[in-house]
Amino acid sequence: MIPYGRQSIDEDDITAVTSVLRSPWLTQGPAVIRLEEALVEYTGAEYAVSVSSATAALHVSCLALGLGAGDVLWTSANSFVASSNCALYVGAEVDFIDIDPVTRNICITALEDKLALAKLKGKLPKIIVAVHFAGLSCDMAKIRALADAYNVYLLEDASHALGSEYQGKKVGGCHYSDITVFSFHPVKNIAAGEGGAVLTNDICLANKVRQFACHGITKNAADFVQVDDSPCRYEQQNLGFNYRLSDIHSALAAQQLVKLDHFRELRANHVARYNRAFLDDALQIPITTSDKVAWHIYVVTFEHREVRDACFERLKAADIYANIHYIPIPSQPFYQGKGFNVADYPNTLAHYQRSLTLPLFVDLTESEQQLVIDTVKAAL
C-alpha cells in the first residue's frame, strides 16, 4: 500500500520520546521550551508558542487578534476547513477568495477586487488567512501591501509550508504577516503526532496567544490585576482553552525539526523526478521557483475530470492511495448551509474537479515512485 503521505520516524525520534517518558516532566517541561526555542531559531521569528494543533493555533490567533462577533475573516476557498472554522469559533463571519490556477494560492487580483468591493459595502475583513498551498508560499509582499492599504491583519496558515522559503527567507519569520501557524500532524512536513505552533514578532500577540492556549490564565505576577500576596497565585483573565502541547509531542517535533532541511531536499528530489516524468504529458505540474519549497503534497491537474477519476481508480487498483486537495470549503454541507455557493469560486472548483495528489513522502522509494508514474501515464 502506498499512501499519499506519511511520517518518517527514526531511532533518534524514538529515543527523544522515550527519554521524556523517563523524565519527571510529561507536559509543560523542558521539551516544550526546547521546541519553542528551536522554532524561533529555525524561522527567525521572535516568539514561538507551541499548541496542540494548527487548528488550535488558528483559533487562539483569531482570539489574540481580537476577532469576534461582527468581524469577518477571509481565506482561500482551496484549503482545509480549519482555515475558516477558526473565524466561526469566535463568533465572526467568514468569506472566501478564489485561487490562481497556476499557484493554487489566493488569486491576488481576486483579492484586490474583493477588497475594493468590500470597502464600498463597509464590510472589510479584519483578518486575511493566507494559505501556502502544497508548501508554496503565497506572494506575501503583494498581500501585505493590500492588507496595509485596507488595514487588515495578515495570518499565514503555513500548515503545508514549514521548511519553505519566500524571497530567500524562511516561512514563519512573519516578515509580511502578524502571525504564522504551523501543523505537526504526521502527514505534514514534520510530525509531533498532533501538534502546532504560533509564530510572531509581536510580544503582545505572543503573550495573548499563550494565555488563550492555557485557559486564559497567567502565572506571571507582573501581569496580575488583583492585589493579593498569597503564594501560588494565578489569575484567569480571559476565557481560554487547554491547547498546550505535551513534552512527549514537543520532543518528537523538536527531533524532527533537526531533520527538516534534509526532509525538504528528499521531497524536492521526489518532486523533480515526478516533474521530469510528466513534463511532456497532458498534466499541469507544480510551478518551479527560485525559492526553496518544502513540498508537502504533489498535486497534478488533468485536462479532464474523467481522466482524473480514471487515474484515481487505476492507482487504487495498484494499491496506491492518491488524494484530493481540497474539496472546496464553500462546497461543504456545513458551509452550503451558511449560503455559500462553490460556483462563486470557479478556479477552486475546476482545480478540485481535475486535480489529484500523488504520493509524496520522505521515505518514498524509487520503485514505488516509478509505479506511481507508470500508473498515471497508463491512465493518460
Ligand X SMILES: *Cc1c(COP(=O)(O)O)cnc(C)c1O
Q: Which residues bind ligand X (CB under 6 A)?
A: 53-55, 79-80, 82-83, 131, 157, 159-160, 183, 185, 196
User: Distance (Å, rounded) from C-alpha 202 to C-alpha 180?
Assistant: 12
CB 134 within 8 Å of CB 284:
no
76 versus 375: smaller Cβ distance to ligand X: 76
CA 282 to chain centre: 29
Nearer to ligand X, 196 or 286 (CB): 196
Q: What b/e readout covers 283-312, taking b as 16+ CB neighbours within 10 angstroms? A: bbbbeeeeebbbbbbbbbbbeeeebbeebb
* Class of residue 210 by CB neighbours under 10 A (exposed 0-12, middle 13-18, buried 19+): buried
CA distance 351 to 100: 10
| Bond prior to 326 in cis (omega within 30° of 0) | yes
HSE, side-chain direction, 13 A CA sphere, residue 374: 7
Q: How far apart are CA 326 and CA 328, in angstroms?
A: 6
DSSP state of 46: S
CB of 161 to ligand X, least distance (A): 9
Helix (H, G, I), strand (E, B) or coil at 169: strand
Question: Does residue 134 contact residue 297 with C-beta atoms inside 8 Å?
Answer: yes
In terms of CB distance, is 163 or 196 closer to ligand X?
196
Nearer to ligand X, 53 or 211 (CB): 53
Please state the closest distance from residue 26 (CB atom) to ligand X, in A. Answer: 20
Least CB distance to ligand X at residue 296 (A): 8
- Residue with smaller CB distance to ligand X, 83 or 331: 83
Three-state secondary structure string covering 216-255: CEECCHHHCCCCCCCCCCCEECCCCCECCCEHHHHHHHHH
Instruction: Give the nearest distance from C-beta 317 to ligand X in angstroms.
Output: 28
Nearer to ligand X, 157 or 165 (CB): 157
> Which residues are within 8 A (CB) of 250 and not within 5 positions of it... i.e. 6 or more apart?
31, 32, 34, 35, 50, 192, 195
Q: Which is nearer to ligand X, 8 or 237 (CB)?
A: 8
User: What is the nearest approach in angstroms of ligand X to the Cβ of residue 183?
Assistant: 3
Query: In the bound complex, what is the minimum distance in angstroms from residue 131's beta carbon to ligand X?
Result: 5
Minimum CB separation from ligand X for residue 216, in Å? 21
**What's the farthest any 2 CA atoms get from each other in the chain?**
75
- Please, which residue, 53 or 218, has the CB nearer to ligand X? 53
Closest CB to ligand X among residues 150, 241: 241
Minimum CB distance to ligand X, residue 233 (Å): 33
CB of 35 to ligand X, least distance (A): 15
- Counting runs of H as helices and runs of E as strands, what totals does the chain give? 13, 14
